[in-house]
Structure 1
Amino acid sequence: MRRSGVQAQDLRVVEPELSNPSAILRRERAIVVNLEHIKAIITANEVLVPNPKDPFMVSFVRDLEFKLSDFGVLVVRQDLKMGAGKIASQCAHAATGMYSELMQSQRALLRQWELCGQPKIVVTCKNQQEMNKLKEAAENIGLPTFVVADAGRTQVSAGSKTVLAIGPGSKASVDSITRKLRLL
């Protein structure tokens, strides 16, 4: 068995379209998986596969890495009533601002996020107060954050906090902060 580099997760949730009945066995320190062409041992820290160079396994592992990847969330304030173009611009500022900060402080996390295509979603919050609470909650569990303060040249006042970037982080971590927010 060789390390695949995939973080440990429940494969039944990630790949529900497998046609044959799954054989997933829980053991004291691992889960043994036998799913059609997929054989793996999953521990708390890694996924081991018997033949990581098999074309089917390479494809599966690449797809699995994407599905399990870290992602970020951009939180847009609703009360500012920004137009679509302004929101797009502010989200771009948030994403590039987070990227720049990660370059300085957390290169390993940035590299992992880059390898997965830097996935992100955009959601909304009601106002500055809710944004502040989200930022504090994210930072309390170790997620990186970045807040965009607008220059005030167009639709909003100078210094207005328009978008909060949260993450990248694991789906579980990010969801624990943002799951109740509506998609934009």
Structure 2
Amino acid sequence: MGIIASNSYLMGIATGSFLGITATYIVLRFKGINNPPEAVPIEERFEFPDPKDEYRLIMAIRNDLKMQKGKVAAQCGHASVAAYAKALKLKPKTLQRWLRYGGTKITVKVDNEEDLLNLDRAAKEIGVLSSIVRDAGQTQVAPGSRTVIAIGPAPKSVLDRITGHLKLY
């Protein structure tokens, strides 16, 4: 009786495991989790098509908020991820060109929120993507504060028309 019971027990575990793995595979397969969204292909070569007009992402940081370095870094991280996501959805060829140039990111200063919003308007007027980051307000700034704007990715010549007058951060 002990041998029969232990064999039945092992058979039950094996059958249950097999059914569980099979069911999980089927569910994930039909929900598309095993099929991640298409990534933008990146060439391994770093030959720049036009080095005079490389694609860049500009991040303008509000200077009046007096954020600490770590806070600025986090806000710029949010801005670059938002810009990437927006470009992936709306301008995938532009994103691919930017990545071909190494994903260059440049930070500049703006004096206040009004200047940040003016940059957003200027970018929209000429068809350049922009993403404004609003802080959750759990650390250094008030909730909902606009901290950084990401402009681009776009060619340097186009970005210079929007942000060329700003100083590096």
TM-score under structure 2 length normalisation: 0.70
- Residue 99, structure 1, aligned to residue 84, structure 2: yes
Within 1, Cα distance between the matches of 2:110 and 2:84?
22
Deviation at 1:139, TM superposition (A): 0.9
Choose 1 or 2 for highest CA Rg.
2
Corresponding residue for 1:89?
74
Unmatched segments (≥5 aa) in structure 2:
1-44
Deviations along 1:53-99, one digit per CA (max 9) or x if unpaired, are xxxxxx9x925545532111000001111000000000000000110
More strand by share: 1
Matches within 5 A, 1:1-150: 62-63=47-48, 65-150=50-135
- Residue 174, structure 1, aligned to residue 159, structure 2: yes
1:162 to 139, 147, 156: 147
More helix by share: 2
Corresponding residue for 1:41?
none
Within 2, Cα distance between the matches of 1:63 and 1:111?
12
TM-score under structure 1 length normalisation: 0.64
1:151 to 136, 150, 154: 136
Larger RCO of the pair (alpha carbons < 8 Å, separation 6+) = 2
Contact 1:74 1:94 in 2 (8 A): yes
Aligned residue pair count = 125
Deviations along 1:134-172, one digit per CA (max 9) or x if unpaired, are 110111011100000001110001100000001111111
SS of the equivalent of 1:73 reads strand
SS of the equivalent of 1:156 reads coil
Within 1, Cα distance between the matches of 2:51 and 2:136?
36
Contact 1:78 1:124 in 2 (8 A): yes
Contact 1:151 1:159 in 2 (8 A): yes
